[in-house]
Chains A and B, each alone.
Chain A
Amino acid sequence: MSSSASHAHHGEANQKPLVGSMGVDSRKLGLWAFIGSETLFFATLIVTHLIFYARTKEMLNGAGILKELDPRLNYLGIELTTVLASLLLASSLTMVLALAASKARDWKKFRFWQMATILLGASFVGGQVYEFMHLYHVGLKLAPSYALHISDEVYNTIASLNLDPSIVTLGEDHGHKAAIVPSLFGVTFFVMTGFHGLHVTIGIIWLLAVYVKVNKYPDSPENPMDIELGGLYWHFVDLVWVAIFTIVYLM
């Protein structure tokens, strides 16, 4: 989608080549259709995660150790993710302010808000990298089981229950006592949020490219649409996080 040659079609009379028979910009039309496609991409990732998380919960609940070993409650604290969600929401605001500034042809303001968006996005990605590293160190891995660090008390409780190894085994992780639970919670979580992070990264590159282009050609009448397109993609990426934040972290 990054580049379009729809304007290659300007005929004899048509002085506004970007506007076609639907009365809209071709690239914007294509981008909305692409966003629709991406919606199903993320829906599939999210539903896979939910299915396997529900299965893990069912299994732990049946063994009476759900509260102690629930991967979401024990791994995903909401402090960091609330900060990350706020960063991304704020970047959506700065993005729309950048677009408004460009429409008012206030390039100084545009540069400020566009750069703010890029920096907020970069902080989000940085925060996510930190979160992934943290989770790895406390036993959530890209593997079909997780090793939850537990206290001696919980360790002894589980040991006393004599549970089937297909539900939980006791062991060690990074020098801590850990309960090792066969579960795809970690794999599905990392793949889902990782692909979102990849999209944010692509969005940052896109916004940077627009920033550079607008700086180089401040008089181009294409600028507002270039900015709007980058913005649309950016808001969509934020929208996905609105869903992941609530569905995966809070619910």
Chain B
Amino acid sequence: MANHDTHVEHHEAHTEHSTRFYWIVGLVLAIVTAIEVAIFLVQDLFLHELFLAILIVLMLAKGVGVVLYFMHLKGDFKIFQFLFIVPFLLAVSLVLLMLTLFSYHVGIAG
């Protein structure tokens, strides 16, 4: 078991954020949620596709905030990023492939 202690300490010093920073991230997440709800309430003003697109972007923004800053994936070891991003992409592919297979556009709907 190779010893990488010095590396670890060096590395952790970089990812330490101040509590003030976490409050700001929390505030941004709250604001994005508020925007999501607001857009939901006035969704008739938009084209439905645009409404969905905006929601997906906002949802992803929230998710990225939680994963990068609360879960400290940003700046953490590459292996953790790999361990999260690969299954995430696999999950997204599963959802998209299944929705396509069960839509009324490709073949039969099952």
Contact = CB atoms under 8 A, between A and B. Distances in A.
B84 A250 contact: no
Given A11-B1, A50-B99, A93-B26, A250 B36 contact: yes
A19 B95 contact: no
Contacts of A239: 63, 66-67, 71
B83 A32 contact: yes
A46 B95 contact: yes
A22 B3 CA distance: 9
Interface in B40-86: 40, 52, 55-56, 58-59, 62-63, 66-67, 69-71, 77, 79-80, 83-84, 86
B33 A89 contact: yes
Contact of A235 (B4, B36, B70, B79): B70
Nearest to A228: B72
Interface string B1-18: 111110110000000110
Given A23-B7, A238-B66, A246-B36, A54 B95 contact: no
Contacts, number: 147
A13 B52 CA distance: 57
Q: Which 7 A-B pairs have the closest CB atoms?
A: A36-B87, A43-B91, A93-B26, A23-B4, A246-B59, A32-B83, A47-B95
Nearest to A101: B19
A24 B70 contact: no
Interface of B: 1-5, 7-8, 16-17, 19, 22-23, 25-26, 29-30, 33, 36-37, 40, 52, 55-56, 58-59, 62-63, 66-67, 69-71, 77, 79-80, 83-84, 86-88, 90-92, 94-95, 98-99, 102-104, 109
A51 B102 contact: yes
27 contacts: A16-B8, A21-B2, A23-B8, A24-B80, A32-B83, A33-B83, A36-B87, A40-B87, A40-B90, A44-B94, A50-B99, A51-B99, A51-B102, A82-B33, A86-B33, A90-B26, A92-B66, A96-B22, A96-B70, A97-B19, A238-B66, A239-B63, A239-B67, A243-B59, A245-B36, A251-B52, A251-B55
A147 to B, nearest CB: 26
Given A89-B29, A250-B36, A100 B94 contact: no
A54 to B, nearest CB: 7
Interface in A164-204: none
B59 to A, nearest CB: 4
Contacts of A37: 87
Label chain A's interface by main secondary structure.
helix
Interface residues of A, number: 58
A93 B71 CA distance: 11
Interface string A214-251: 00000000000000000110011011001101110011
Given A82-B33, A89-B26, A89-B29, A20 B86 contact: no
B71 A235 contact: yes
B95 A43 contact: yes
A122 interface: no
Nearest to B23: A93
B17 A78 contact: no
